[in-house]
Structure 1
Amino acid sequence: MSTIQKRISVNFDNLNQWIDSRDNLLGYLLLLPAVLVFLFLSVLPILYGIWISFHSGAGSNLDFVGLSNYQNLLFADSNFWHSVWLGAVYAVYSVVLQTVAGVAIALLLNETFRFQNFVRTLVLVTYLIPTVAVAIIFRFLLDHQIGVLNYYLITYTPVDDTINFFSQELAIHSVTWISGWKFTIFVVLIILARLQSIDSELYELARINGANAFRRFIDVTYPHIRSALFLVILLRGIFMFNKFDMIYILTRGGPFDSTRTMVIYAYYQAFGRADYGTGAAVTTIMFLLLAVVAIIYFYYFAPEEEVES
């Protein structure tokens, strides 16, 4: 190679490096607005909440107390641990109910039948109803004095007295099933989308080999929806553990703290007792708990490997 050719080659290499550097810089500049929005709307509020958790009081009357709020919650507040337990029960109960019902409904909607599109639309519309509206409607439907459900139970069944669905014993079950009615459709959407991608020939081959409906689900359906299930369980667990509006509208955390989950307890501390520091400490502990659970979940189930496979 001549000297001129070497110089031309070097110049082209420098030009390519300069173009690549400009492309990289342009990419960073295009990402900058999204990063700034994420920092402003997510990271800064989290850091501010953690900072408040080391203080006591409310508004501008915040006094630095160090780890005192955490010590009181972890070692001297039995109500806090009760809220942790209720939050875990509500989350697990809800995830199991919504996952089982969601998969079953998705399997039914995946079948071919008359008015299929209309039925799918009708089922999916429930997810569009605001949570506040759902909670208020069910609050009246299940009212033990004027509720429609109690009227039909007394009129058409052997039940001779009204049932208080929001009593201390039944409140957590009522809240969970109402939440299931509202949020199961999220599971249906994810699973149904995954079912649509399964090759129908796989089911035909399974039928030819004599597989019944259960074996077709185990051998064909489940391996294809497994990664989606892992994602759904994680997301629903996080969402339901943090769910505030449904519980607060239905029960306000009562009766007798029977539905006072961690998020309701944090609200009570911050706005009921005007103690922002303790409320922020509860939410910080919630964040840490969810982070630990998510890490353990990803470690043992490795959903990213499921997606790749």
Structure 2
Amino acid sequence: MIFSLILLFFIFVYGFFILRLAFGINKVPYFFTKYKSPETTFSIVVPFRNEAKVLPELLDSLSGLNYPKDLFEIILVDDESDDGFELINHDQNIKVLKNIRKSNSPKKDAIETAILNSKFSWIITTDADCIVPENWLKTLDAFIRENNVEMVVGAVSYRAENDFLQHFQLLEMMSLQGATIGSFGINHPFMCNGANFAYTKNLFKSLNGFDDSNQIASGDDVFLLQKTLNSSAYGLPKIGYLKNHDFLVLTQPCFSLQALIQQRIRWASKASAYKNFFSKSVALAVFIGNLAIVLGLLFSLFGWMPFWDFYILFSLKIVLDFVLLYQTGKFIQPHQIRFYLLST
């Protein structure tokens, strides 16, 4: 009985944070606007290494942007690629730079290299394997002009096919995006994705960029968000979440288990550097929520708790996960909502 009560307490703690985030998703309003004549200037930054197979698709989507060509530039930063990438048949304002390495983080170095060579006031980063919608910049321009912000976070989702590994990653991405949106809704943002992340050049320079996180290979997005939140000159009022389908970037999932594991190792490498108390609390709640299911199964198999108690724990977690996925899916993947309960 005591084991059942302890694990049930773990699930309740997990549920408290998950339901708060799910509630927060609805607190972030969908951005509706009447487009005006664009004014904001953007430097689109794309760090890459050996991405010759996917870069053409990204460049095609960028060439189709519904935005004046003189108000944005594209900066590709090559981090020692050896796959023979060449830029051909593109009439866009594209710069291809060699990465200037100076730290343990090639991606952060690439972004800094691009910013040093950029000519416009706003920086927006994305990845080489992404596709952006045609009104990407137009929607961002409208949001910036209607809100007094210096940093904008947007949604990212996977282009998943009918494959178990890809579908698993899609659901995982949905939960991460739900946590991101929900945290903004309850005024405790702690996550963002560098595949769809914008900020002013002035903000980046005034906060000294990535100077205090260059020892960590990943985290170009999260650590800059964290630094902005902690800055007395900026803080939460200067950060906005843009919830609009025209500001939703699609990226590719990992196509093999080995690539997925390597990606998760990179993500985990930055966890110890998180300073936000709420993010640590959410991480702990997620850990003990999953631990409760594992321990519940083991305790049931060894006869230390009834199987019915394990079924209750498992059912509660499925319901909690479904609530978060459902709220997220109404925005990001509305046509797949009916599959979430089974997938969870």
**Normalising to structure 2: TM-score of the pair?**
0.24
User: Looking at CA atoms only, which structure, 1 or 2, has the larger radius of gyration?
Assistant: 1
Higher helix share: 1
- Structure holding more strand per residue: 2
TM-score (norm 1): 0.26
